[in-house]
């Protein structure tokens, strides 16, 4: 910035008018130079002001663009949320209808149809609010059909996934019945022991104790018969 005025002064001096005696009018040159410098400074400040205004305008424009994109993104997100909620409500209504139909089939002794309906429900809506109940009722449907192998698998699967479900204790005594039907009395004894220890105040606890007592009596008799047969 300092070089420019010096060059400017040099050029002005070279082209400056001479005095009548042949010399250069230095005072006049300096005055003219200062005036031009002042004009240049004013122009420079004016340009700086214009640049500041442009920068400020650019900032405002950028902010408006960002806000516009934010609003567009919010609108898009809001629409997605609305669509998702609508789909969930629609699926929940459909899921509830299937679950209710399956329960009705079970209650009217249409066990094989109930099995198909509960399986369909669990396949399509595994995370739905009634999925745990559906798993339990599926096992009960197999038990009602005397399909003990599938009932055993269904009860065990339900218990593994739902240790705190309100039907858990019921499932233990029902699984014990399944084991008895399959001739797995040792497993039935273990399940009944577990139920009595976990839920001593359950409304079926007396039934469980009776079943356990019968199993132990049968086991004792079987053991005595085995000893008598080996010791004639």
Q: Which two tokens stand for residue 44?
A: 């420079």
Range with lowest mean pLDDT among 2-6, 86-90, 166-170: 2-6
Greater confidence (21 vs 187) lies with: 187
CB contact at 8 A, 189 and 212: yes
Domain of 93 in residue numbering reads as 65-165
Containing 182, the helix (H) or strand (E) segment is none
Average pLDDT over residues 186-214: 93
Residues 184 and 154 in one domain: no
Structural domain includes residue 174: yes
CA nearest neighbour of 132 among 164, 104, 101, 169: 164
Q: How far is CA 93 from CA 9, 102, 125, 130, in A?
A: 90, 14, 11, 12
Write down the pTM of the prediction.
Answer: 0.61
> Final residue of a domain: which of 165, 191, 219?
165
Angle at which helix 185-198 crosses helix 205-230, to 10 degrees, equals 150
How far apart (Å, rounded) are the C-alpha atoms in residues 186 and 5? 109
Range with lowest mean pLDDT among 8-22, 33-47, 67-81: 8-22
DSSP 8-state symbol, 85 = H
How far apart (Å, rounded) are the C-alpha atoms in residues 26 and 17? 9
Structural domain includes residue 56: no
Mean pLDDT of all residues belonging to the chain = 81
How far apart (Å, rounded) are the C-alpha atoms in residues 220 and 10? 127
How far apart (Å, rounded) are the C-alpha atoms in residues 95 and 175? 27
CATH classification of the domain holding 143: 1.25.40.10
CB contact at 8 A, 143 and 151: yes
Residues 110 and 189 in one domain: no
Residues 218 and 139 in one domain: no
């Amino acid at each position: 910035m300092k070089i420019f005025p010096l060059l400017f002064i040099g050029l002005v001096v070279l082209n400056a008018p001479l005095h009548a005696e042949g010399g250069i009018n230095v005072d006049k040159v300096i005055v003219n130079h200062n005036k031009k410098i002042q004009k240049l400074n004013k122009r420079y400040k004016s340009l700086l002001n214009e640049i500041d205004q442009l920068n400020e305008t650019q900032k405002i424009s950028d902010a408006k663009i960002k806000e516009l994109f934010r609003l567009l993104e919010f609108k898009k997100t809001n629409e997605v949320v609305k669509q998702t909620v609508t789909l969930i409500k629609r699926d929940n209504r459909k899921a509830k209808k299937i679950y209710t139909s399956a329960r009705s089939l079970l209650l009217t002794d249409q066990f094989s149809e109930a099995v198909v309906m509960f399986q369909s429900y669990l396949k399509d809506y595994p995370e739905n609010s009634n999925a745990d109940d559906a798993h339990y009722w599926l096992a009960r449907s197999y038990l009602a059909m005397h399909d003990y192998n599938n009932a055993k698998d269904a009860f065990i699967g339900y218990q593994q996934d739902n240790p705190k479900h309100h039907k858990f204790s019921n499932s233990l005594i029902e699984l014990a019945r399944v084991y008895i039907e399959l001739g797995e009395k040792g497993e039935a004894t273990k399940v009944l022991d577990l139920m009595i220890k976990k839920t001593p105040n359950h409304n079926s606890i007396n039934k469980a104790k009776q079943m356990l007592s019968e199993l132990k009596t049968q086991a004792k008799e079987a053991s005595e018969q085995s000893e008598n047969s080996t010791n004639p």
